[in-house]
Each structure stands twice: as C-alpha cells, then as structure tokens.
Amino acid sequence: MKGSDLDLHSRGQARFVDDLPEPEGLLHAVVLPSPVAHGSIKRLDTEKARHSPRVRAVLTAADIPGTNQIGTLVADEPLLAENTVDFVGQPVAVVLADSEAAARAALALVELQTEELPAVLDPRRAQELGELIVAPRTFCLGEVEDIWEKCAVVLEGTVESGAQEHLYLETQGALALPGEWGGVRVISSTQSPTGVQRVIARILGLAMHQVEVEVTRLGGAFGGKEDQATAWAALAAFGAVSCGAAVKLVLHRHEDMVYTGKRHPYSSDYRIGVSAEGKVLAYQVEFYQNAGAAADLSPAILERTLFHCTGSYFVPNVRATAYCCRTNIAPNTAFRGFGGPQGMFVIEAALFKAAAALGVSPAELQEKNLLKEGDTFPYGMAATRCSAPICWQEAKSRYDYESTRARVDAFNRNNTLHKKGLSLMPVCFGISFTNTVLNQGAALVHVYTDGSVSVSTGAVEMGQGVKYKILEVAARVFSIDSKRVKVESTSTLRVANTSPTAASTGADLNGKATEIACQAILKRLKEVAAGELEKEDPGKVEIRQEQILYDGERTSLSWERLIPRVYTRRVNLSAQAHYATPGIYFDKTKEKGEPFSYHAYGTALCEVTVDCLRGTYEVDAVSVVHDLGPSLVPQVDLGQAEGGIVQGIGWLTLEEVLYSEQGQLTTATLSTYKVPDIYHTPKELEVHFLEDTENPLGLFHSKAIGEPPLMYGIGVYYALLAAIQAFRPEADLPVTAPMTPERVLMTLYADRLGELRGFAKKPRSKRSVSP
Ligand code: LUZ
Ligand code: MOS
C-alpha cells in the first residue's frame, strides 16, 4: 500500500519512541530490578549511585509525589517496590543520567539488600495457600451433577498450557517532556494512552489535564502494551518532572523479557460426559490461572477464559470455575485472545480424549456438538447469525476433508517413522470488551480548506492496520480519494477517555465514531452545496467520487470547490463524535448477560507430519474458512489472520517460557526462546473469507479480526497429538503445551524413557519448572 506505514517501515523511516530526535538535555533512565522473586527490602541506599559521574538523580518509591500505585483493576501494584519485592525484575529504583551508559554504570552502585521470603511459582500451590487475587468465579448452565450417570462416557483430565512472550519488535519505552505548570507530555509506546495518562496523574499527584500522552505508532504490542506500557511511561514522567528535563526510558530486549509479564500459563482440570450418540451432555472445568505477582488485567482475562470455556460448542450442562492465582513471577497480562485461547484449548482436549474413548474421530464429536443458531452460551447469551456450521462445512468441502483424511490414514498405515496428524479447529470468539464500560470510541475529524481531511481517534496503530480501516471509513463516507485523508497520531489532547486499543475492537469502536463524525460534517456540506446550487433539498445532494450531484445529476461543484465555500459561509468543517456499542451488558452477580456485540466464527483444517525418530515436525497446511463479513481493507484482514495463526501455532508448539526454582526467567533471550520464523510457518497457509455474509453490528457490516485467528493455532497442537497417537495408539497422551520437538520426542517414547539414556524420567527437569 503506497504512502502507507508499510512504505515507511520498509524504508526504515517509521519512527518509534527510540528513534525520535533527542531533545536538548535529555536524560536516560534505567531501572534497578529486583534480583529475587520474593523478599523484604532491608536496605535501599542510593547515595553512592547518586554521586556517580553524570548521574542526575536516583529515584525510589520514597520520592514519588503522588500515589505509588499503578494497578488498573486492583490497587495492588506499586510503580517502585516499597517494603517487599514480589518478582524478579520488579522495578525498585530508577537512575537518571545524561548518558545511558552512565546510568547503567551507576545501577551497580545502588545498594539493595533483601531478605528472601518463600516464593510460590505454581498456581495450584498458590490456590492451596489462599493466594487468590480476586474471588473465584463460576459460570453455570444447567446442572452437571445430575448428568454424569446418564453419560456413556465420563472422562477426567488435566491440561497445561504455557506462557507466551509478546516479543513485539519495539520494546517497551517512553519519552517524557516536562511542561509548564508542573505538567508533562509523554510519548509512549502504549495501547492505552488514557491508561498511561491516568496513572501518571496519580503517580505525580496531577490533574489528568496536566498530562498529555501521545502515540504515533507501536512496533507491535499483542496485548503486551495494553497495561504494561504504563510503568515505563510513568517512570519516565516521574523522572522528567523530578529533574525538569526530558527523560527517555527504553527497555533492552533482555530487560523487557525479564521485567514484563506474558500470556498466562494455565493449569486446568476437566470432566466431560458424552452420550453414546456423541452428544456432550456435561462439562465441568477448573482453571488455575498463573497471574503472577499483581493483578494487572488477570481478573478480566480470567473472565474471558470462562466466556470461552465451551469453545465453539453447545453444552447443555456446564460448571466452570476459575482461580486467579498470585505467584512470584512478573504479573502476566493481556495477550491476543486474552484468556480465550486458554479456555478453548481445554475443551478441545476433553473432546480429543472423549473421541478416543468412544472410538470415533475428534472431528465427528466436534461436528455433533458444534454451535448452531439460537444455542445458549454458559453466560446466557444466545448464538445469533451463528456461522459456525457454515464455516465448518465450507472448510470441509473447500479443503477436501474426506480425501485428506483418507490420504493421512493411508500415509500412517504405510509409514512407521513418520506419522501425519489431521485436525479441524472451529473458533468462536466474542467481540467486545467483557468490561462493558470500555466499549466506547471517539473521533475528531477536521476538513481543511484545501479539501484534505485529518482524523484523530482513540485507536492506536500497532502495526495491525487500524489506521487504514479508519482512513477507508472517512474516504467512503465523504466519497473522496483516500489520499486526501490522514489518520493522525493518538493523543489524549485530541481524543479523551480512550479505551485501550484491544479486544479486537479498535476498528469497530473508533471506526464507528469516525463514521458518525464524518456523517455530521457531510450533512453540513450538503446543506451548503444546496445553497450554492440554489436548490431546495439538501437531501438530494450527494457526493460521488469527489463530484457533487443533485438529484443524481452532476453539478458544477466538486469536493475541492465546495469545501472553501463551506468555510466562506462560516460553517463548521470539524466534528467530534462518540460511539458506544449498543445492547451489551453483563450481570456479575448472576454471571449472565449479553457481553458481546457479536461473535466471530471460523474453522481451520490443520495437517502436520511428525518425524517419529527425532520428534521434529512440519506443519504441512493450515486452511481456514473465516466469517469476516464484507472486508473493509482485505490486505489488513488477511495480514491479521495470517499473523494470528502463526502466533497461535508458536504459543502451542515452539515457544516455551521457563523459570528456575528461584523464579528467574531462564528463557530470556532469543537463543533460548524460539518464536516461529518463516521456516516454522505452515507450508501452506490459506485463509478464505466467507462470502455473502453480513454483520449489521460491525463497521460497514464487517467483523473484527485481530484476535480470533490466533486460536486456529490450537488445531495444530491437536494435529500433532493425533500424529503421536498414530504412533502410540494405546497411550493416554498428556495434554501439555507447548509441544516443542523435545516434548514430541518425550511423548513418543514416554513408555520407554527408562531405556533411553539422557532423558530424565520426570517430565519436569530439575533445573527448570514451567509454572
Ligand atoms: N482487554 C480488556 C481485552 O480489558 N477486556 C477484554 O475483554 C479484552 N479482550 C481481549 C483483549 N483485550
Ligand atoms: Mo489485547 S490481548 O491487548 O486485545
């Protein structure tokens, strides 16, 4: 797309926080991290560091002028540690110097003594100890207890899913510039400008109007900057106001990996009951979420797990309980899917196991229980415009499921050292913030006298392309060339009270607000045009491709000629608009409501080949049918779908986050943490957007795309499990992710590990535990 951010990226001209021209007198901030997972602070002496060359200040909690609190949902997280440290990497002090090297050199001079306290890393252990961040939540539908004995098969199992590092290309960072009257302007790499603004105001004891936060673009976020960009921006602002100088704080990759939270690991127990005909009659599940040392967004993420605990299926009797477990690792946070993937992963395990017990394929069981129009979710909402069955059938026919099945089965009969696995993975994902209040967006649109258009919204561009959707909205409403439109940076001065750009809602909420603002201006343009043309009825004026029509006939007016006339007549060429998603609500006392505006649906067919001698594997194909409605910008939607799929595959296959027993992250480098590269993307990756569908609740009838495709990656996990099952048909395979080649190998030979030298018998090695 010419003239787009992509153009700037490929030329290296896109500016991120660390690329901004450095202001005069800039100070560099570096953070002193807690070296231990849990301890009480016995001594914190900054004297020597303060007197280190070129150091301007060393700030600790004691220097904070306002309230030392950054918690968004629960007030349980200090910006700088106060009496205890609760995870390795927790910020304890910040050093400000006129060079980064000087600041780093001074770090070693800060004297920090802690007395170690017992660290808990395992969420189940935390739950036993009563270390819950919020009270457990339970979603119920029907009554599971009466049902078990009516089932032909009742199975129980445990499922483990791992953490995931966001690995945005641009690490966390901010540049803070002190302003007049004690205020501050901050350029932050955040998904949540208002969240950053609110916390800075609190930390510094300022009114929010004293704090401006601006975001041009982020080099990726994936949820990692929904809540966790805040601390770094607040530290920079704190430094800037304390020293009266510009302050830059940008984390190094290694620091970013250690200091910031990740996707939550979950440990879960399920019980599933299925009739002889293959209908799931009851499902019970307990989720133990490893929240880390502070709430961050964990309670909301926990809630989204419950909302997605039955995946794309209708289950008449459900009891799902979730525990938000406090542990001594960095607070885990939002990550594309926001707990939904963890919930869906478990029901797929239950179906996989139940299918084996019934002697049918998982696909047969999945299909029999697939959501259809009018089915009720455990939270009481009914599935409407439910395209789950259409996507499922379309995926099966478009990608020749039956013949692929036959080919895979034949391959497995004819090969002993290679096995193929096939899976179908339906996705159903609720669109809206589950916290109803966040479902609002706003826009500010200006038309300049030369006919160019400036659009500001609450949406943050993080590489996902929301900017092109908003640009398209303005161009469509005005019917002008998109080259006339510019989508501006996101600033709390231009658009206030923004929700984070998250929950796949950025384009829906802010695009709708843009549409409303443009419509308001358009109405005025039509009135002026009618006047200029000496016609009666502004309703008969139309703009089509920059030409002004009256009653369908071309007139002498064009966009370029009309706009200056509007100005001359002293009519407002600007509009501000607000959009709030209608109809949604949720009653937490009953755990029932209609929390989502709509659901996104689709199905993936996944095929893998496992080398059963080595444990290595290839993802042969991921072929998707996805219901998107009419796409607003197809390249953007395809980019989101492909990226999400590969990221989902990475979560459950390659990406393994490990901590030592002392709570040190042992996978804090790119040599120990593997993300998918081009060689690990599926050899064939096809995404077909369902045609002829409409979503009256979405932006120009389209559907949100940011998160749902990630969950197709779950299908690759179960394809791998199917391949292993083909090698060991009798085994009861553990469901533990990520399914790294190492784990594949261990699972292939789990019954013979004693014979194989070099492998520990215990599935968890001594040095590393995965919480
Ligand atoms: N953030 C949030 C999210 O605050 N609430 C949500 O429901 C959500 N869902 C997905 C991603 N981020
Ligand atoms: Mo998010 S997981 O920031 O939509």
pLDDT value for 753: 79
- Please name the residue whose Cα sits nearest to atom 6 of ligand 1: 433
Q: At 755, is the pLDDT very low, low, confident or very high (cuts 50, 70, 90)?
A: confident
* Residue 406 burial class via C-beta count within 10 angstroms: exposed 0-12, middle 13-18, buried 19 and up: exposed
pLDDT tens by residue, 693-718: 999 999 999 999 999 999 999 999 99
Q: In percent, how much of the chain has pLDDT > 90? A: 96
Q: Which residues 6+ apart lie within 8 Å of 737 measured at CB?
A: 160, 161, 162, 345, 651, 652, 653, 717
User: Which of 192, 228, 297, 466 to mutate to test ligand 1, by most ligand atoms within 8 A of the CB atom?
Assistant: 297
pLDDT value for 769: 52
Q: At 2, is the pLDDT very low, low, confident or very high (cuts 50, 70, 90)?
A: low
pLDDT value for 765: 45
CB 614, CB 741: distance < 8 Å: yes
Closest ligand to 297 CA? 1
705 lines ligand 2 (CB under 6 A): no
pLDDT value for 771: 52
Rounded Cα–Cα distance for residues 522 and 529 (Å) = 10
Site of tokens 């750009």: 501
Count of CB atoms within 10 A of residue 255's CB?
17
Atom of ligand 2 nearest to the CA of 503: 4
Q: What is the DSSP letter of 49?
A: H
User: Pocket around ligand 1: residues whose beta carbon is below 6 Å from it?
Assistant: 226, 297, 300, 304, 334, 338, 433-435, 438, 502-503
| Mean pLDDT (whole number) for 230-255 | 98
pLDDT value for 520: 98
pLDDT value for 437: 98
Rounded Cα–Cα distance for residues 402 and 405 (Å) = 5
| Mean pLDDT (whole number) for 374-399 | 98
Task: Name the E strands within 433-526.
Answer: 440-447, 453-457, 485-487, 490-491
Q: At 67, is the pLDDT very low, low, confident or very high (cuts 50, 70, 90)?
A: very high
Count of CB atoms within 10 A of residue 684's CB?
12
Rounded Cα–Cα distance for residues 130 and 30 (Å) = 35
User: Which of 218, 226, 302, 433 to mutate to test ligand 2, by most ligand atoms within 8 A of the CB atom?
Assistant: 226
Give the Å distance between the CA of 55 and the centre of ligand 2: 37
334 lines ligand 2 (CB under 6 A): yes
Give the Å distance between the CA of 435 and the centre of ligand 2: 13
- Please name the residue whose Cα sits nearest to atom 3 of ligand 2: 223
Average pLDDT value for the chain: 96
pLDDT tens by residue, 17-37: 999 999 999 999 999 999 999
Atom of ligand 1 nearest to the CA of 502: 12
Active-site pick, 642, 707, 730, 742: 707
Rounded Cα–Cα distance for residues 10 and 4 (Å) = 10
Give the Å distance between the CA of 498 and the centre of ligand 2: 15
pLDDT value for 757: 58
pLDDT over 50 at 766, yes or no: no
Output 751 or 657, whichever has higher pLDDT: 657
Atom of ligand 2 nearest to the CA of 502: 4
First to last CA, the chain: 43
Q: Which residues 6+ apart lie within 8 Å of 330 measured at CB?
A: 87, 88, 89, 90, 258, 259, 260, 261, 262, 292, 293, 665
Give the Å distance between the CA of 503 and the centre of ligand 2: 5
Give the Å distance between the CA of 330 and the centre of ligand 2: 18
pLDDT over 90 at 500, yes or no: yes
Give the Å distance between the CA of 343 and the centre of ligand 1: 15
pLDDT over 90 at 229, yes or no: yes
The counts of H helices and E strands in the chain are 18, 32
Rounded Cα–Cα distance for residues 223 and 667 (Å) = 20
226 lines ligand 2 (CB under 6 A): yes
Task: Name the E strands within 162-274.
Answer: 173-178, 184-188, 211-215, 247-250, 266-274
Rounded Cα–Cα distance for residues 154 and 430 (Å) = 29
Give the Å distance between the CA of 625 and the centre of ligand 2: 23
Task: Name the E strands within 342-470.
Answer: 418-431, 440-447, 453-457
pLDDT over 70 at 762, yes or no: no
Which residues are registered as beta bridge partners of 617? 610
Atom of ligand 2 nearest to the CA of 224: 3
Closest CA to 180 of 214, 215, 210: 210
Note the helical H segments in 429-494. Answer: 466-478
Site of tokens 């080099």: 219
- Please name the residue whose Cα sits nearest to atom 5 of ligand 1: 433
Q: Which residues 6+ apart lie within 8 Å of 648 measured at CB?
A: 337, 341, 709, 710, 711, 712, 713, 714, 716
pLDDT tens by residue, 429-479: 999 999 999 999 999 999 999 999 999 999 999 999 999 999 999 999 999
Note the helical H segments in 569-652. Answer: 634-652
pLDDT over 60 at 760, yes or no: no
pLDDT tens by residue, 608-620: 999 999 999 999 9
pLDDT tens by residue, 634-676: 999 999 999 999 999 999 999 999 999 999 999 999 999 999 9
474 lines ligand 2 (CB under 6 A): no
Q: At 247, is the pLDDT very low, low, confident or very high (cuts 50, 70, 90)?
A: very high
| Mean pLDDT (whole number) for 61-68 | 98
Closest CA to 717 of 766, 657, 645: 645
| Mean pLDDT (whole number) for 237-245 | 98
pLDDT tens by residue, 513-545: 999 999 999 999 999 999 999 999 999 999 999
Annotated catalytic residue 707:
yes
Rounded Cα–Cα distance for residues 494 and 215 (Å) = 12
Atom of ligand 2 nearest to the CA of 225: 3
Rounded Cα–Cα distance for residues 110 and 55 (Å) = 12
pLDDT over 70 at 424, yes or no: yes
Give the Å distance between the CA of 111 and the centre of ligand 1: 39
Atom of ligand 2 nearest to the CA of 707: 4
One DSSP character per residue, 536-567 reads S-GGGEEEETTEEEETTEEEEEEHHHHHHHHH
